[in-house]
Structures are given as C-alpha cells and as structure tokens.
Structure 1
C-alpha cells in the first residue's frame, strides 16, 4: 500500500549501481539517544544510500518527543542534530490541505459533500460534479496528473511552470475521469492540488496565507512554509539517486499536493496536536471517509492502517526529486514517528524510508504495550 503515498512525477531516471558501504553499527551513538533496536533499524535501512544523505527523526512516545539525526559521510553514518533543519515534505502537504478543508467545513464555509463547481468561476468540462471530500480522499476519478502537465521539458523541477492558467484550461477543456466520482480510490496529485486551488479561490488568498492563518501559527510551526526563501538558511540540499545536489521543486498551482517544506521539530508539534481531541479540525481529518481495502481506509488526507493488533495508525509519506518523508501516528497510544530525508523519491531503495518508519513505529508501540 505504501507506494500509493509517494508524490512522484512519472519520470524515469537512470539509477546506476549502488555502492558498497562499510558503515558499522558501532558508529551510531545510542547512549541516551535511541535504543539499540532503533539504531539497528536505522543502520540497516540507510546503509545503501549515498554519501551526503541526511535523515532527521522525531520519535514520539506517549506524547513525548525526542529528536535524532544521522548523516552519511565518507561511507560512514554519523550522528548530527538536524531537528531544526528544513526538508521538502512532498505529499505530506496533502494532510495540511485536508486540514485547511476541515477548518473551512467547521466554519461553515462549505460542506464536504458540496461540489466544487459551485465555488469557482472556471467551467468544468462536461459539467462533471466533484466534491471536496472526493478530492481529499482520492475518490474523484481524476488521473494522478493532468494531461497538460509537461514533465519532460524541466525534469529537475517538473511542476514549476504549471500555473493557474494551465490548471483552469485542463478543467475546462481536457478534464478526464477514469471512473464515476466516489466509486473507487485512485491516488491523484492533481485532485489534491485542485482542492488547494479551490480553497484559495474561496478565501481569495494564497495557499501560504491559508497555512499561516489556520495551521502554522496555531501550532507554532515557525519553519513550515511553501516559500523556500524563508528557510533557505536551514534548508538541507536535496540529492538525486547518486547523491549529487539536485533542484528543489516548485509546485506552482498544485502547491496543495506537495509544496511544503518543514522540520521534524515542527511536524512533531503537528503530530502531537493530533492527540488532543479539542482540535476538532484535526479529528475531522482522521475520520474515515472511504474504505480502500480490508486493512486500509482513508479520512481526509490521512491513510488509516488497521493493524492485526487492533492498533489504528494514521499515515502519509511524501517524495520529490531530492527528498523522501513519512509521518505515522497512533493517537490511542500517543505514539508516532516523523522521518524527513534528502533521499530522492527516485532512489531504488527509497521505500526503505517508509519501511524504517513502520518498523520503528511497531517497536515503539510494542514497547508501550509491555
């Protein structure tokens, strides 16, 4: 299931051959920082990444957060402090777009089952009726990406030139649905980006202003933004599959699908806020809206994993050309894990970031239930 969660423009990159790493587990500092089991997991899942790879962690246990970071240098894995370093978070942005939607619904600016055509001036081809909820839970029938998005001309920053004019032209002239809205889950970056666009039109402001008004100011997320210049001094450089510096991504009109940058410190604040039932907008985003499979549901943005242990985890991962990320929560135990990295979403071992998060989360939950 986790392949659903990654924001990847469908471009093929040459991956090359993996280098053999010589890191030993003893190079990781574990005293008073992380457990030996966690250190082993981190070592195993990061040993095949190239030099200059940096990974930042927030471990949340019973609502208490500890930070940890590692970096590959000269084929060694060393400890660093990077909880205030910024990374692109890719598709985790969709959870924030869903949170904006929840705020709008609670303020009676819209209803989740309302159709978006009633809120924008742009005509929709064929008078297709798409609801806010369907855009947020990926049941709209929209393709993953719009057909007029050119991924070839600027492969290192593929969304940069996809402006509102192109989005509106697609809605009016090229819109295609692979199914009837509401019938089936099919992950759509365009759907989430369109949702962000419509919310901005309703409020007559930009996405960044909405973030500040409803989320980042409320939860004191001082280094979470869509404006890269604001955090340039703390930004970790993105890396391609070979470990070379690569371009950051600008999501333009589709910013609501994956345009945010953040830190583990900020995302840990957002994560622990999920454990406070008084935050009604956060609770609404985690409310089941559609069943994907026997073990997976979706709320608004969040994927809901129903584990055999009866634990319920809320998850989203993300990826761009130079970064991969994961956030995973269990509100019942108040446990969670946040991972930010400059591992390219195109790296052949990129899924190790997701696997690492799930393995650590399992270990945290098991320790909690002892």
Structure 2
C-alpha cells in the first residue's frame, strides 16, 4: 500500500465558461496533462492552453483536506463547439445541463466530488446529436436500478463516476443510445475485487475504457467499464498517491505512452489516482520495451538493487527512459526517469566540458601551469611548492597525470584518496594540506593515476578564471544552453535531499549519508536525472544531430586520449566510444556516448561491492541497446 501524501490547501472554488469552435490545429505537442491543480491554477491552465488551440478532454475533481483540486487532460485537436464548467453545485449542474441540452450540447465528460457534505461537479459539453441520458446524485442502489433500466431501453453506459459526499457514496453517469462492442460495467468494487475483475476481463480480451476511484471511510472502491475492443497497446494503474502517479506518468511518457484517462479521488486528507495510457505508434515497440525490462530487471534482481534510472538516445533523439524499482524502499515511492541521482564520477565529463569551453573562449590554455609563479592559482594554496607541483598543467589534471600515486584514489601506498580524508576541512584547506604533505610521486605527465583530487583542483581553476562559483558557472554557461535546469551539486545528508531526489540505500558498501558530497563538486558531486543528463550529453557528443555547445576542435581535443593512457580530458575512451562510470556508497552509474549514434545512462540508488558489479553494468547496457529490434523516429526530449 502506498503511503499517503498530505496536503495543506487554501479554500477556493471557481466557475469557468468557454465556448470553442473548430480549427485546423498543429500536431506538435498534441496533449498536456496536469494534476493537483487548485481552482485558480486550473483556471490559469485552462486559459493558457485553450488560447494555444487545446481542448479539454477530461477534468477530474477531487477533494483533499478542505479544498477541491483538479486533474485535467487537454488535447490539441479540432472539434465541435464546446462548453465547460467546474466547481458547480448540484443545482448549478442541473440547470446548466438543461440549458445546454436545449441548445444541442451533449456531455462528453462529467465528474463529481464531495466537500463539507455537498456535491460539486465538473463537466464538458460538445455540440452533437447524440441521444443521451444523464443522472447525478444517485445512491449505489439507484445507480444499479438506472443502469438496468437504461440497458433494457437500448442505452449504453458511457461514463460512471463515484464519489463520497459526507458518509454516503453518490454516482453520476451518462448513457447514450448507440450500439458497440461487448461491454462489462461494475461498481462498488474494493481494490482486491477490482484487481480480480481487471485480471479476468483482460484475459478474456476486454480492456478498461473508464475507471473511477472513490473512497468511503478507509476503503477504496472502483466503478469501471470494460469493452471488448482492439486498439493500441495500453497500460493501467490504480490506487496511486500523488508521487507515484507522477512517477508512473513520467515512466509512461518516456516509453511512448500518452494518457487517455486520469481520475483523481479523495482519500481523507490526501489524493489518489487511477489512470489509463495508450501507446503512440511512432515510439519504441512493445518488444523493445519488454527486452529492456527483462534485461534490466535481471541485473537489478541479481544485485538486490532498490532502484535504477535509465535513458537511451539514438541520433540525438531521446528514445526511451524509465525508472525501475523504488526511489525509497521505506515508503514504496517509485523511481521516475526525472528523479535525481548522485552521478558520482560521471561528474568528471561535465567538468571536462566546462574546462574545454573556457579553452575555446581563450580564457585559459591546457598548457597553463596551475601552481606557482605565473600560474592560474599562484600561491593561493601555500607558499611552499615542490618542483613537480609547479610543473602541473590543466591538461595533467584533466588526464589524471598530475600527482601520480600520491594523489590517486587507491590505497596501494597506504594514504588513500585525498578527497575522502580530513572530513572537517573545506576544499581550500584540503588542497593546501595535500600540497604540503603529498608531493607528486612522478613527473607530471608521465604516470596515469586516477585522481578525484585533481578534478577538485579543476573546480577551483574554473572558479578563479570565471570569478563565479563552480556550480554557478556550470549551470549558467554549460547546462542552461543545453536546456537543463534541474542538475545540482548534491547534499551530504538525507535531510539535504532534494524533493525529487532518490534515497540512497546502504547495501553493505558504506553509509551513503556519511560523505562530504558537496565538497566533491567537480569530481563527483552532481545530481541529475537520466533525462537531463542525456539532454546535456546530446549537446556535447560531437554529432551533428543537435547543435553542440563545443566546437569540433574543442570536442576532438577533449576526447583525445593522453600520451600515457586511454583516458582523455574528463572522458574514458575506447576507439570512438567515450564514456565514464561512477561509484559512491549507495550509487553506481555509467554514461556512454557510443560511436554508432547511441548514447545512454544508467544510474542506481544502491551499490554492490561485488567485483563484477560495474562490469555487469556496462555489459547490461550494451545488451540492452543491441537487443532493440528497430529504432523509432520519435524524440521524447
């Protein structure tokens, strides 16, 4: 059972009237959906999108706490004249129904909700010639009797909505005199009964065409309509709280589904949702999705991961993104591909891009010295510098050839990673201490030794050259031009977690909340969603599919490996494949820009210490992309 999300709302009801006429409309952005809108927010949403040529398809009302809220679905399609109202009392609804019926309008949507013992209605009418009967304010028994009568008279149930008013359940329903495929309608089903009905009917070739959730006391109930019809692949969910509805919404969208029904209902102070989605024809195939799910599911199961986020790009187009498992196992909150993950050392390519941007702008050179006389940082981190320290260049730091084994991440020499020492120090204090205590073990440029500490220094170089904080510069000069506005330097503690960030789980590899993550900024501190990281990646990938923020010369320099290893400047290389992985307690990540036009990311919120964990992760994603039968032409960015 999902945990309730509590709301604190102001009180407001609103009435809206708008007449719309037919028009020839653009196919771009064909639908928009929102939920948990106050009446004022819904009014603004309505005004904005109807002015852009969208038409309301559904407006579900529900109470949470002491206010009424709305979930709305609009489509950019042509259609007949239309009129809609929301926040109507029962008397208002009856009066408007009568008036519009006389003017030739018929209901295409009606929903009800209860607040403070009174019923309120939202409805959409279109001008058509349907023969229609509608009833509202019915008890369950009255609805059953009305259903039987209208069915006998040749009317077909089109919509039924249940909702609580005080201690009673009421129904509003619409029938039309028409024929159609075999139909099954049920109401007052508990969640278990609805699930059984769902299983039985779908196994017999039916699909849900309408579902309404409602609550009485502590029990959820459902009214539903199943029809024996064909159509595109579909998916349905019920009893979702707000966070999990948003996660399911995002997961469906980034698999190529669009919503065809969203119904909100009250659950005391909270809201719950039921929804139905249908597959769009231009998106990745069901066979492709099943292959991805099976492959990733096996990896998650093998290593006992709480959750993961994945995204795949083909020729600059986002083809697929999805969250798997739990963002937080303790609450049952699901992972969404728009959830933020610590990306760990996948931060390094971003720092590499930032440095190369400054090189391209002639604000620094790769050959610039970092410490000592005439250098970028001078003596900011100590007056006493060794000969080898004064020889370090920007390029040495980018290629992990600056400090040798004394600055690397291994503990082979007994000193360990500088960035995981001296927790009480600031970045400046730590750099000063390491320069004083750990002289490079080799001549700079001659020994590859992977170094978080070296990239920490690169962050300080960016700050010195730009006069801005590292995060500020990267956000404004690198991420913003790529259309990315939700990447940040992460917090150290769980209390500092962002609202849309996953929870990191300790699988035996150390405390995820016992590190100085913010101090890691330039080498391992970023948090990002799979979707946003790919939004960045397609703008720094060297392909012509989307305009890059680096010129060809700067890109080629960035991915040219060093003289002593296959590591380039913030990027690992293998032929024309450029990639990086990342590891922190509670986090495992991989990012790949492949030479065949494919790119992908895979982020987890748990990490195994098994030796094969990262090798299997890399193989996993190659297996995923190599098993897709055909790449679609759509773009989900």
TM-score (norm 2): 0.46
Is residue 442 of structure 2 the alignment partner of residue 179 of structure 1? yes
Distance 1:324 1:124 in 2: 38
Within-5 A mapping of 1:262-273: 262-273=528-539
Distance 2:590 2:370 in 1: 29
Is residue 385 of structure 2 the alignment partner of residue 125 of structure 1? yes
Q: 1:61 maps to what in 2?
A: 314
CA contact (8 A) 2:308 2:602 kept: yes
Q: 2:109 maps to what in 1?
A: none
Assess, with a 3 A threshold, how the Cα gap between structure 1 residues 329 and 362 changes in structure 2: closer, same or farther: farther
Q: 1:290 maps to what in 2?
A: 562
Moved more, 257-266 or 278-287: 278-287
Q: 1:299 maps to what in 2?
A: 568
Q: 1:350 maps to what in 2?
A: 613
The superposition leaves residues 176-221 of structure 1 with CA deviations (integer Å, 9 ceiling, x where unpaired) of 2222111232211111111112221222321111111221211121
Other structure's SS at 2:323 match: strand
Residue 326 of structure 1: how far off its partner (Å): 0.9
Other structure's SS at 2:606 match: coil
Assess, with a 3 A threshold, how the Cα gap between structure 1 residues 168 and 362 changes in structure 2: closer, same or farther: farther
Q: 1:84 maps to what in 2?
A: 338
CA contact (8 A) 1:125 1:174 kept: no
Distance 2:287 2:563 in 1: 38
Within-5 A mapping of 1:14-33: 32=286
Assess, with a 3 A threshold, how the Cα gap between structure 1 residues 272 and 265 changes in structure 2: closer, same or farther: same
CA contact (8 A) 1:114 1:132 kept: yes
Q: 1:316 maps to what in 2?
A: 580
Distance 1:224 1:141 in 2: 30
Other structure's SS at 2:607 match: coil
Distance 2:432 2:398 in 1: 19
More strand by percentage: 2
Distance 2:518 2:511 in 1: 22
Uncovered stretches (5+) of structure 2, i.e. residues with no partner = 1-251, 256-284, 410-414, 632-637
Q: 1:102 maps to what in 2?
A: 356
Residue 99 of structure 1: how far off its partner (Å): 0.9
More helix by percentage: 1
Residue 367 of structure 1: how far off its partner (Å): 6.2
Q: 1:280 maps to what in 2?
A: 550
The superposition leaves residues 206-237 of structure 1 with CA deviations (integer Å, 9 ceiling, x where unpaired) of 11111112212111212101154897110100
CA contact (8 A) 2:315 2:597 kept: yes
Assess, with a 3 A threshold, how the Cα gap between structure 1 residues 237 and 349 changes in structure 2: closer, same or farther: farther
2:596 pairs with one of 333, 337, 362: 333
The structure number with the bigger radius of gyration is 2
CA contact (8 A) 1:285 1:302 kept: no
Assess, with a 3 A threshold, how the Cα gap between structure 1 residues 245 and 176 changes in structure 2: closer, same or farther: closer
Q: 2:501 maps to what in 1?
A: 235
Assess, with a 3 A threshold, how the Cα gap between structure 1 residues 243 and 187 changes in structure 2: closer, same or farther: closer
2:465 pairs with one of 202, 210, 216: 202
CA contact (8 A) 1:290 1:298 kept: yes
Q: 2:429 maps to what in 1?
A: 165
Distance 1:292 1:165 in 2: 31
Assess, with a 3 A threshold, how the Cα gap between structure 1 residues 328 and 151 changes in structure 2: closer, same or farther: closer
Q: 1:21 maps to what in 2?
A: none
Distance 2:626 2:403 in 1: 33
CA contact (8 A) 2:364 2:465 kept: no
Distance 2:447 2:623 in 1: 29
Uncovered stretches (5+) of structure 1, i.e. residues with no partner = 1-28, 153-157, 307-311
Assess, with a 3 A threshold, how the Cα gap between structure 1 residues 302 and 201 changes in structure 2: closer, same or farther: same
2:300 pairs with one of 43, 46, 57: 46
Cα root mean square deviation, aligned: 3.3
Q: 1:16 maps to what in 2?
A: none
Q: 1:11 maps to what in 2?
A: none
Residue 354 of structure 1: how far off its partner (Å): 2.9
CA contact (8 A) 2:368 2:376 kept: no
Assess, with a 3 A threshold, how the Cα gap between structure 1 residues 147 and 322 changes in structure 2: closer, same or farther: closer
The superposition leaves residues 142-186 of structure 1 with CA deviations (integer Å, 9 ceiling, x where unpaired) of 42157694857xxxxx85745311212322x11322221112322
Distance 1:71 1:320 in 2: 19
Distance 2:299 2:441 in 1: 37
CA contact (8 A) 2:511 2:585 kept: no
For these two proteins, the number of residue pairs brought into alignment is 320
Which structure has the higher relative contact order (CA within 8 Å, separation 6+)?
Answer: 1
Residue 253 of structure 1: how far off its partner (Å): 4.3
Moved more, 233-242 or 35-44: 35-44
Residue 348 of structure 1: how far off its partner (Å): 5.4
CA contact (8 A) 1:68 1:80 kept: no
